[in-house]
Structure 1
Amino acid sequence: MNAPGLGRGPAAVVVGASGGVGRALVAALAAGGDYDTIFALSRTPAPQPDGVRPLAIDVTDEESVMAAARDLGEAGPVGLAIVASGILHGPGIAPEKAIRALDPAAMARVFAVNTLGPALVAKHLVPLMPRRGRSVFAALSARVGSIGDNRLGGWYAYRASKAALNQVLRTLAVETARTHPDLIVAGLHPGTVQTALSQPFRPEPGPGLFTPEESATHLLRVIGGLTREESGRVFAWDGQPIPP
Structure 2
Amino acid sequence: METALIIGSSGGIGSALADALTARGVAVTGLSRRHDGLDVADEASVKAALGALDGPFDLVFVATGALEINGAEPEKTLKHVTAEAMIDQFKLNTVGPSLVLKHAMRLLPRKGRAIFVALSARVGSIGDNRLGGWYSYRTSKAALNQMIHGSAIELARTHKDLICVVLHPGTVETRFTEKYVGHNPSVPASEAAENLLAVLDGLTPNDTGKFFDWQGKEVPW
TM over 0.5: yes
For the Cα contact (< 8 Å) 1:92–1:106, is it kept in 2?
A: no
Question: Which among 40, 43, 48 is matched to residue 67 of structure 1?
Answer: 48
CA deviation map 1:122-176 (0-9, x unaligned)? 0000221100000000010000000000000000000000000000010011001
- The aligned runs of 1:33-182 (5 Å cut-off) are 33=25, 35=26, 37-45=27-35, 55-73=36-54, 76-182=55-161
Residue 134 of structure 1 contacts residue 182 of structure 1 at CA under 8 Å; is this kept in 2?
yes
Between 1:206-215 and 1:141-150, the stretch displaced more is 206-215
TM-score of the pair, normalised by structure 2: 0.96
Q: Deviations over 1:74-129 (max 9, x none)?
A: xx311100000001113232100001100111110110000000000000002211
- What's the CA shift for 1:235? 0.3
Per the TM alignment, residue 56 of structure 1 is displaced from its structure 2 partner at its CA by 3.9
User: Could you tell me the TM-score, scaled by structure 1's length?
Assistant: 0.88
Contact 2:69 2:88 in 1 (8 A): no
Q: Does the aligned pair in 1 maintain the 2:69–2:89 contact within 8 Å?
A: no
Structure 2 gap segments, 5+ residues each? none
Q: Does 1:15 align with 2:7?
A: yes
Contact 2:165/2:210 (8 A) holds in 1: yes
Aligned residue pair count:
221
In structure 2, distance between residues paired with 1:20 and 1:239: 21
Assess if the C-alpha contact under 8 Å between 1:29 and 1:38 holds in 2.
yes
Q: Distance in 2 between matches of 1:82 and 1:212?
A: 15
The 1-side partners of 2:3 and 2:34 are apart by 21
1:191/1:215 contact within 8 Å kept: yes
Percent identity of equivalent pairs: 49
Cα distance in 2 for residues equivalent to 1:91 and 1:64: 21
Match of 2:218 in 1: 241
Moved over 2 A (4+): none
- Give 5+ residue unaligned stretches, structure 1: 1-6, 46-54
Amino acid of the structure 2 residue aligned with 1:85: T
- 1:188 matches 2:167: yes
Q: Could you tell me whether the CA contact under 8 Å between 2:7 and 2:30 is conserved in 1?
A: yes
Verify the 8 A CA contact 2:171 2:184 in the aligned structure 1: no
State whether structure 2 residue 209 is matched by structure 1 residue 217: no
Provide the residue aligned with 1:51 in structure 2.
none
